[in-house]
Chains A and B, each alone.
Chain A
Amino acid sequence: MAASGGEVADDPILDAVVAVAASAKVTVTTAGPVQVVVEVGREDYPALVEAARAGGFETFIDLCAVDHLAREPRFDVVVNLLSTQHTRRLLIKVGVPNEDPSLPSISMVYPGANFYERETWDMFGIVFDGHPDLTRLLMPDEWDGHPLRKDYRIGSVPVEFKATR
């Protein structure tokens, strides 16, 4: 999305959403103005999500995290919302530091975020404060570690052939 960059000029739908968050930074993606990325600080994140829902982005599409490892903040959580009435997408990106990997849960705003937040907790160890049931989703409950973190080994087993034994 950084590929084309650029500012969005005069976008009433988006302006109404972004107005609630002082820290919001808007960029357009290679897909054009139908797919807009808003980077936002942690403090403004819940307000922005609520404003997005009120502003017409009624469909919850996706929530995932990216582990940048060496970068500060280490994680990005990316929320993907869709407005079917305006036929456009909104990607909300919020940085999460390694020292305190937590974010307010948005599963009360979008119930669909429930499983996605559980998956993100499971895979990245990001805690979603206020989530009703933040347990492991994909891995067994007693699993140790968060597999999709970059410092978690892929866990491959060396391949052995009978002839070499």
Chain B
Amino acid sequence: MAGEVDNPSFFLTTLQKGVNWTRTKSMWPATFGLACCAIEMMATGAAHNDMARFGMEVFRASPRQADLMIVAGRVSQKMAPVLRQVYDQMAEPKWVISMGACASTGGMFNNYALVQGVDQIVPVDVYVPGCPPGPQSLLHGILTLHQGIMSGEIQRSTGVV
């Protein structure tokens, strides 16, 4: 077999591309709203901005069925273990978008109660800035993630931080 095909990577790379394409076109987010950003996340899914255009309108209530966790809002010390557990429950491959200043860095609340950046708990693929990021910003973040997956820049095989 190996002798017959001179360039075996030809077939394999296109399959990889095909896989990546399917991953980006039906990336179901988990319903994981925390704070203000969750409202904008819901607004992104609603009529005006319509995430269904990207095959993402199905917010899955169960993390087992979700591919993408959008950490929308501030993560408190009490919520952090829960968040990690939800992430662990998601099936591979999975991605994480950290939405908004609070999820990315703790935002303006640099105090005892908040985790200063969700990347301390779960690996983050795309950070979306804003307080809260508007639906357009979130869509931009999502498209950035899609591009990264398509180009192979973002690959996820293990859930290790």
Query: How far is the CB of B106 from the nearest CB of chain A, in Å?
Result: 7
- Bitwise interface map of B from 89 to 126 toward A, beta carbon under 8 Å scored 1, else 0: 00000000000000001100011110010000000000
Could you say which residues of chain B place their CB within 8 Å of the CB of A152? Answer: 112
Q: How far apart are the CA atoms of A47 and B106 in the complex, in Å?
A: 45
The reply to whether A154 and B77 contact each other, CB–CB distance below 8 Å, is no
In the complex formed, the residue of B with least CB distance to A140 is B78
The reply to whether A156 and B78 contact each other, CB–CB distance below 8 Å, is no
Instruction: Judge if A147 is at the interface, Cβ distance under 8 Å.
Output: yes
Number of B residues, CB within 8 Å of A:
9
The reply to whether A139 and B78 contact each other, CB–CB distance below 8 Å, is yes
Query: How far is the CB of B124 from the nearest CB of chain A, in Å?
Result: 15
- Bitwise interface map of B from 75 to 87 toward A, beta carbon under 8 Å scored 1, else 0: 0011000000000
The reply to whether A156 and B77 contact each other, CB–CB distance below 8 Å, is no
The reply to whether B78 and A147 contact each other, CB–CB distance below 8 Å, is no
In the complex formed, the residue of A with least CB distance to B117 is A157
The reply to whether A159 and B110 contact each other, CB–CB distance below 8 Å, is yes
Could you say which residues of chain A place their CB within 8 Å of the CB of B106? Answer: 157
Could you say which residues of chain A place their CB within 8 Å of the CB of B110? Answer: 154, 156-157, 159
Interface size class of A (residues with CB under 8 A): 10 to 19
The reply to whether B78 and A154 contact each other, CB–CB distance below 8 Å, is no
The reply to whether B78 and A155 contact each other, CB–CB distance below 8 Å, is no
Query: How far is the CB of A21 from the nearest CB of chain B, in Å?
Result: 37
Q: How far apart are the CA atoms of A140 and B116 in the complex, in Å?
A: 17
Query: How far is the CB of B76 from the nearest CB of chain A, in Å?
Result: 9
Q: How far apart are the CA atoms of A159 and B109 in the complex, in Å?
A: 12
Instruction: Judge if A162 is at the interface, Cβ distance under 8 Å.
Output: no
The reply to whether B77 and A147 contact each other, CB–CB distance below 8 Å, is no
| 8 Å CB contact of B113 from A147, A153, A159 | A147
Q: How far apart are the CA atoms of A157 and B112 in the complex, in Å?
A: 9
Could you say which residues of chain B place their CB within 8 Å of the CB of A138? Answer: 78
Query: How far is the CB of B39 from the nearest CB of chain A, in Å?
Result: 22
In the complex formed, the residue of B with least CB distance to A148 is B112
The reply to whether A157 and B116 contact each other, CB–CB distance below 8 Å, is yes
- In chain A, residues 145-165, which have Cβ atoms closer than 8 Å to a Cβ of chain B? 147, 152-157, 159
| 8 Å CB contact of B111 from A139, A140, A156 | A156
Could you say which residues of chain A place their CB within 8 Å of the CB of B111? Answer: 154-156
> Could you list some 9 contacts between A and B, CB below 8 A?
A138-B78, A139-B77, A140-B77, A140-B78, A147-B112, A152-B112, A154-B111, A154-B112, A155-B113
B residues bordering A, Cβ < 8 Å? 77-78, 105-106, 110-113, 116
Nearest first, the 7 closest Cβ-Cβ pairs linking A and B are A155-B112, A156-B110, A140-B78, A157-B116, A154-B111, A147-B112, A155-B111
20 additional contacts, CB 8 Å, given A138-B78, A143-B77, A154-B111? A139-B77, A139-B78, A139-B113, A140-B78, A147-B112, A147-B113, A152-B112, A153-B112, A154-B110, A154-B112, A155-B111, A155-B112, A155-B113, A156-B110, A156-B111, A157-B106, A157-B110, A157-B116, A159-B105, A159-B110
